Amino acid sequence: MEGTLKTNRRGFIGGVSSAAIISASSTAFAQKKYDDGASDTEIRIGHTNPYSGPASAYGVEGQLYQAFFKALNEAGGIGGRKITFITYDDGYSPPKTVEMVRKLVEEDKVLLCFNTLGTPCNTAIHKYMNQKKVPQLFVATGASKWGDPKNFPWTMGFNLSYQSEGQIYAKYLVKTKPNAKIALLYANDDFFAEKENLIKASKPVWKEHEYTDRGKWMDGWESRRRRTSGHDFAIIRLGARGVVRGVVVDTSFFRGNFPESCSIAGVALAPLVSVDELLESKWQPLLT
């Protein structure tokens, strides 16, 4: 007996769609799922480095990593996967770092960014990397803010913190040079120009077209513009107990962003107390 098939357009399309979905799903089930930048044969790693500009001396680090991953691939890679290491020159300029890292993430589809150099450059991409959920691993900077897994779980630091370095140097000097005069400083923010400029004996110098590893040349201490309440501060440790008879506050070449006022306080403590102990101490106002 000859059978008949009765259908309509909706049923026919639905039947084809179901068959297509089942077919596609079975293919997907057979494959492993990877994030961008990873497969059974490859791992794509992104990197930025100052191959040009004021911090180009660090360019040798990028060359070292290229040589390392080349040797690793020649030895068989990682679990049979070859490493594709993509590195771009950012000239130690935060805007350029943002441009290059966006290219790495959105065009090159890297799995992660590795050992990007510098506090200002890593700060510029910090939120972006965490919003994109792309690992920002082993950042090459000693700033203390990289160890914040609660707010930035996709970022991991690498260098010893600058505060720890300072404590190590101080303990070594006290042990080996007990009569030396030491001035140690701490600042809550020296993003644009380092706090050590506060104790330079020479007069400040202006260099119109020169850049440092912090950005535009600034021969003084410069923090970021505050957008919250409070104030920026620096702590100077004197080489010996004494009486502070005068302080020079020089705002040469700071036009528009220099502080309208400042205050100075002092405290006498035992040698080598921690920064936390300093901050919790009772300071006596010297200038308000």
- What's the rounded Cα separation, in Å, for the pair 226 and 222? 11
- 235-281 residue pLDDT tens: 777 766 667 767 777 666 665 566 667 788 888 876 666 777 777 88
Per the CB < 8 A criterion, the answer to whether 46 and 125 are in contact is no
- What's the rounded Cα separation, in Å, for the pair 282 and 64? 49
- The packing angle between helices 119-132 and 94-106, to 10°, is 30
Amino acid at position 68, single letter: F
Query: Coil, strand, or helix at residue 179?
Result: coil
51-65, 137-151, 222-236, range with the lowest pLDDT: 222-236
Binned at pLDDT 50, 70 and 90, residue 65 comes out as: very high
Nearest by Cα to 169 from 184, 150, 155: 184
105: exposed, middle or buried (C-beta count within 10 Å: 0-12, 13-18, 19+)?
buried
- 162-217 residue pLDDT tens: 767 767 777 777 788 777 665 656 666 666 666 666 666 667 777 777 776 666 66
Beta bridge partners, 155, equal: 136
- What's the rounded Cα separation, in Å, for the pair 101 and 128? 9
Angle value at C-alpha 40, between 34 and 43, nearest 5 degrees: 75
pTM value is 0.58
Q: How large is the average pLDDT for residues 280-287?
A: 83
Binned at pLDDT 50, 70 and 90, residue 147 comes out as: confident
Q: Is the pLDDT of residue 3 over 60?
A: no
Amino acid at position 65, single letter: Y
Domains of the chain (ranges plus CATH)?
42-157 (3.40.50.2300), 161-288 (no CATH)
Q: What is the DSSP letter of 202?
A: S
Binned at pLDDT 50, 70 and 90, residue 12 comes out as: very low
195: exposed, middle or buried (C-beta count within 10 Å: 0-12, 13-18, 19+)?
buried
90-99, 138-147, 209-218, 273-282, range with the lowest pLDDT: 209-218
- What's the rounded Cα separation, in Å, for the pair 136 and 104? 12
